Amino acid sequence: MVRTLTLAIPDWPVVAVAPDREPVVVIDRGRVVAASAEARAHGVNVGDRRRMAVRACPTADVLERDPLAEVRAFEPLIAAITDAVVPRIEVDRPGELRFDMRGPTRRLGGEGGVVAAVAEAIAAHPSSTGVAIGVADGPTVSSVAAGRAVDAPLIVPMGGSPSFLAPLPIGCLHEVGLLSAETVDLFDRLGITTVGALAALEPGGVLARFGTEGSRAHRIATGLDDRPLAAVDPGSLPEFERRFDDPLTTVSPAVFAIREMASELVEQLSGSGLSCTSAVISAETEHSEWTERHWYRSEGFSAAALVDRGRWQLDSWAAGGGSITAGIVLVRLRVVGVRADVGRQDGFWGGITAADSAANRAVARLAAICGDESVRVPVTAGGRLPGERCSWVPASTADLDDSARGYPAPVWPGSVAHPTPTVVPVDAVLVEVLDRSGQPVSVSGRGEVNAEPAIVVIGGSRHQVVFWAGPWPLLERWWDQRHRRRMARLQVVLDDGRAHLLAVEQRCWSLMGSYD
């Protein structure tokens, strides 16, 4: 068991993009991922939908998450600690890092001295406000301790992990990535509401009922943190390197090289039944300028996840004023920590096919040639209208190996029931909806049509309405005079056999989508 210090800054996405503004809410794919103190005081919680957050705190600035800004803002804190305290740091994600206490403890006169040195090293940085520090046996328990260190650093005595964890709610294991939200909910329904209650169970029964996820959580609950910061001798693990004869003046070719190395690395480890949990990504310029970062992911890195970390690191390094004065001549990817690959049970129709892998490689080549922002892929998102249920993001920011990426998002309250239109126009298409006498059809404030729809005019072509359903009224952001929106939607089947979803807003009808 290695004594570990974890430094965490709660709601880092807010600190990184808007440190001096209140209230602020940061969202990702329609849900809240972080909120400032004032927004939380108004009732905004992580996981809320955007609509719920705005309703709870109408004055809040709602910002989209910016992963690259989070990495760039965290770099000064990492550099301050590596310069003053310890050179080897494990970065779990922007806003959280940890390191082995053994070396610094001997040099700085105990754990209290290390904590004081860390606080002093980052004190000059404005983004260090609200830093939480936890020290415990092993990285997982130290992360839990950091999450409970509200006003002062929390140091769990050596061997005291079980008594520290026992009274905590079982949800704290979800906060550090040990348990999924579904498993926590199952534990709660079974009456296992605290970590101590989980520790009291028989290990074999936990493994049989909850699998490897529950078994590892049980080990942590009993004080056996089985994830050291460097579990395997680095010399026995794969290391990949790419040198460039012509120095690279842009980051994109270096990211492409990292993608090739990451794919080879994951394939090599997979053949040995292993998954990479810790990796070091480094790069060097022609003038011997150097960047190196240690990245960790408890569930193991996919190739796409490693590429994401490499791109964040190189972009933040290149953006730092005066950090690079020459082209990049070397990139290196080194594995320093692995775990057994327990595998994943896909659905009957699930799994990644050879076509998926070929498409991923094609996307990677296009991104290297055209740039990250030029190649975009669709991801599911939240929304009540067909055009809001899918958004386009840069391919380099999406995990293309994630089989759940393209699954339908949950249906929002107020949206038209499935099936969803298969063709959604990019630009607004105005239509006319007329009754049998040729007069326009309108929808009242009570959601009632003034006459039965009989004719639809699309692009100058008149079609008879065979079947119709609705209308379904929709009122969004009623509390905001500037952004409020009121409309009604109507489904129609025309005499040409095609079905459409129409909407009327401010007495104008438009085509929302077609069921082709």
The DSSP element (H or E) to which 330 belongs, if any, is: strand 328-340
- CA–CA distance, 385 with 391 (Å, rounded to integer): 12
Closest CA to 157 of 1, 276, 291, 16: 1
Residue 288 has a pLDDT of: 83
Using CB atoms within 10 Å of the CB of residue 444, give its burial: 0 to 12 exposed, 13 to 18 middle, 19+ buried: exposed
- Identify residue 259 by its one-letter amino acid code: R
Query: Which of the following CATH numbers is that of domain 246-340: 3.20.20.150, 3.40.50.970, 3.30.1490.100, 2.60.120.650?
Result: 3.30.1490.100
Does pTM top 0.75 for this prediction?
A: no
* DSSP-derived 3-state class of residue 173: helix
Best CA proximity match to 375, nearest among 419, 445, 319, 311: 311
Classify each residue of 49-80 as buried b or exposed e, where b means 16 or more C-beta atoms within 10 Å of its C-beta. bbbebbbbbeebbebebebebbbbbbbbbbeb
3-state secondary structure of 316: helix
Residue 336 half-sphere exposure toward CB, CA atoms < 13 A: 20
pLDDT score for 406: 47
DSSP 405-420: TTSPPPPPTTSPPSSP
> Helices H, strands E: what count in the chain?
15, 20
Question: Taking the CB of residue 213, how many other CB atoms lie within 10 A of it?
Answer: 17
End-to-end, the C-alpha distance of the chain in Å comes to 60
The pLDDT profile of the chain, 516 residues, written as one tens digit per residue, is 788 888 888 888 888 777 677 788 888 777 888 888 888 888 888 878 888 888 888 888 888 887 767 777 787 888 888 888 887 777 767 788 888 888 888 888 888 888 888 888 888 776 666 788 888 888 888 888 888 887 788 888 888 888 888 898 888 888 777 777 788 888 888 888 888 888 888 888 888 888 888 888 888 888 887 665 643 444 567 788 899 888 888 888 888 888 889 888 888 888 777 788 778 888 888 888 888 887 877 677 888 888 888 888 888 788 765 567 788 899 999 887 676 665 554 544 555 555 666 777 677 667 767 766 677 777 777 677 877 777 777 776 665 555 444 445 566 777 777 777 878 887 888 888 888 888 888 888 888 888 888 888 888 888 888 888 878 888 887 787 777 888 888 888 888 888 888 888 888 888 888 887
Nearest-angstrom CA–CA distance, 475 and 47 = 23
Residues 281, 241 contacting (CB under 8 angstroms): no
Delimit the domains of the chain by residue range. 3-159, 246-340, 345-415, 430-514
- pLDDT, residue 357, reads 64
**DSSP H helical segments within 292-353, as ranges?**
303-319
> Is the Cβ–Cβ distance between 98 and 6 less than 8 Å?
yes
Strand bridging mode 328-340 / 96-100 = unpaired
Query: What is the 8-class DSSP label of residue 426?
Result: S
317 CB neighbour count, 10 Å cutoff: 22
At position 285, the amino acid (one-letter code) is: T
Output the pLDDT for position 230: 44
Position 159 scores a pLDDT of 86
For 3-159, CATH number out of 3.40.1170.60, 2.102.10.10, 3.40.50.720, 3.90.79.10 equals 3.40.1170.60
Burial-class residue 119 by CB neighbours within 10 Å (0-12, 13-18, 19+).
Answer: middle
Asked if 276 contacts 266 with a C-beta cutoff of 8 angstroms, the reply is yes
Cα gap 73→20, rounded to integer Å: 14
Check: CB of residue 13 under 8 Å from CB of residue 34: yes
Identify the helix (H) or strand (E) that includes residue 136.
Answer: strand 132-137
Q: What pLDDT shows up at residue 231?
A: 36
In the chain, the amino acid numbered 4 is T
Q: What is the DSSP letter of 383?
A: -
pLDDT confidence of residue 109: 84
- Amino acid 233: pLDDT: 42
CA 270, CA 291: separation in Å to the nearest integer? 28
Rounded Cα distance between 505 and 503, Å, is 7
Q: What is the pLDDT of residue 104?
A: 85
User: For residue 411, with 0-12 CB atoms within 10 Å meaning exposed, 13-18 middle and 19 or more buried, which class applies?
Assistant: middle
Look at residue 49 in the predicted model and tell me its pLDDT: 84
Q: How far, in Å, CA of 256 to CA of 250, rounded?
A: 11
Q: What's 244-307 look like in SS3?
A: EEEEECCCHHHHHHHHHHHHHHHHHHHHCCEEEEEEEEEEEECCCCEEEEEEECCCCCCHHHHH
Long-range contacts of 241-247 (CB under 8 A, 24+ apart): 241/330, 241/331, 241/332, 241/333, 242/330, 242/331, 242/332, 243/329, 243/330, 244/327, 244/328, 244/329, 244/330, 246/327, 247/285, 247/286, 247/326, 247/327, 247/328, 247/329
